[in-house]
Chain A
């Protein structure tokens, strides 16, 4: 295990993106990072910069105006990256089904790895989702390393 892989496993940095739901799940993510459900125990740190982030936590249905921005954020994140749809709205659209102002669930815009159902999600569920997201992150990392080895061997 390389040093980078180890550090990534031990300390994933998350970026929190609110795309226009109610703020319920936003608050629960904040509650996750604060004393009661301290996610920093696993080295999770919230960052405002997508270029430093490994995991993207997305809240809310993707509104039409935000569609472009969230693809930009996704493209700015370095590989390997994991997208977690937090809450019902981000996963499927939830109660906002059929509103004209948004383009439905998150997976129509960017590929989603983990769905956390719940309206609003409990902080425990967010922690569970982060743990599941870490596994996926490691899988992706390994895949990238194998591909690199293969290309090196071919050369």
Chain B
């Protein structure tokens, strides 16, 4: 007998609305239909706007990867004007990007663990996350929406004192992440629950062009920081972290290992602050007129902005392609044939961000 189950839009597993229409045969999912658009606000239309205000709007596409969104937007608009930002601004942006990856990955790991019922580690992840948020509050003035990126640079400087605090922060964070890593990787329960669930084969990952930890969990070493370096990644070489098995476990392990990579990059960036000049903002002399696109490796994967100016303050067209947009087609083949109890776990290891997906 076949039954249809509506999974979402209001579901305890996801914070955000998304609907999956599951056709069930007993406990096994036979067919799955994805319905999105519950978060669609119409931001691409709104972006035909003053380009300075656009930086604040792009931040509010997604609250988890704000810095990535605004960096990508600002780089795209700077490209249309042919503007180059000062070196110090680039260093500050890189530090912020990596800090954000830390807090996003901790959030994703925590939510994954919560969805399999491991409340303790979820709380521990959030406890560690608070340190990152404190660091954000000190450097940028807000916990989540940072608002320091503007077209042409950044608005808040990181002084020598703050740089020292960042170093201390790295030490504390590394210690805590090591604890967390031990607890997750050595846990028999977690491994047994997640291994072999929701396997995405390497061929499927290449066919569907999935991005970020989902692709890297399936042995596709696709990382924009290595493929097409942006702000400071020309100097700081990043080697993509790859796992081979392609299941929920592999995707989580990629995120755990990337925590240390991020801490390492922040450590490499701090000495660069000392001899980077004092300018953090370059004023543009021209208006946006050409077309340009940029890509940034957000915590969830590749983030793409296309900008086209029309020689006035207003932009002509901004297209946003977010990482969940790239991972969206990957839900359906994995859910087909799995158990109903695994649907929540599989989707949460994709780290879906519906605010990004629908814009």
A binds B: yes
A residues in contact (CB < 8 Å) with B: 16-28, 30-31, 34-36, 48, 50, 60-61, 63-66, 69, 73, 94-96, 98-102, 119-120, 122
Q: Which of B2-37 contact A (CB under 8 A)?
A: 9-12, 15-17, 37
CB distance B10 to A119 under 8 Å?
Answer: no
In the bound complex, how far is the Cα of B46 from the Cα of A101, in angstroms?
10
CB distance B40 to A20 under 8 Å?
Answer: yes
B164 at the interface (CB under 8 A from A): no
CB distance A28 to B145 under 8 Å?
Answer: no
CB-CB nearest 8 A-B residue pairs: A24-B63, A48-B12, A101-B42, A20-B39, A34-B126, A23-B63, A22-B63, A24-B144
Q: Which of B94-143 contact A (CB under 8 A)?
A: 107, 122-123, 126-127, 129-130, 133, 142-143
Residues of A within 8 A of B225 (CB): none
CB distance B43 to A99 under 8 Å?
Answer: yes
Segment touching A, from B53-61, B190-198, B247-255: B53-61
Q: Which listed residue, B12, B38, B60, B127, touches A66 by the CB 8 Å rule?
A: B38
Q: Name the CB-closest residue of B to A29.
A: B15
Q: Name the CB-closest residue of B to A98.
A: B46
In the bound complex, how far is the Cα of B355 from the Cα of A60, in angstroms?
10
B154 at the interface (CB under 8 A from A): no
Q: Name the CB-closest residue of B to A102.
A: B41
In the bound complex, how far is the Cα of B53 from the Cα of A94, in angstroms?
13
CB distance B42 to A25 under 8 Å?
Answer: no
Q: Name the CB-closest residue of A to B49.
A: A98
B142 vs chain A, min Cβ distance (A): 7
Residues of A within 8 A of B66 (CB): 22, 24
In the bound complex, how far is the Cα of B11 from the Cα of A37, in angstroms?
24
B residues in contact (CB < 8 Å) with A: 9-12, 15-17, 37-43, 45-46, 56-57, 59-64, 66, 107, 122-123, 126-127, 129-130, 133, 142-145, 353-355, 358
Given contacts A95-B56, A99-B41, A100-B42, contact A22 B61 (CB under 8 A): yes
A109 vs chain B, min Cβ distance (A): 14
CB distance A65 to B126 under 8 Å?
Answer: no
In the bound complex, how far is the Cα of B211 from the Cα of A69, in angstroms?
31
Q: Name the CB-closest residue of B to A70.
A: B10
Residues of B within 8 A of A18 (CB): 15-17
Q: Which listed residue, A30, A36, A63, A120, touches B39 by the CB 8 Å rule?
A: A63
B298 vs chain A, min Cβ distance (A): 13
Given contacts A31-B130, A36-B130, A63-B41, contact A99 B62 (CB under 8 A): no
Given contacts A95-B60, A101-B41, A120-B63, contact A26 B107 (CB under 8 A): no
A65 vs chain B, min Cβ distance (A): 5
Q: Name the CB-closest residue of B to A93.
A: B41
Residues of B within 8 A of A102 (CB): 41-42
In the bound complex, how far is the Cα of B359 from the Cα of A60, in angstroms?
12
A101 vs chain B, min Cβ distance (A): 4
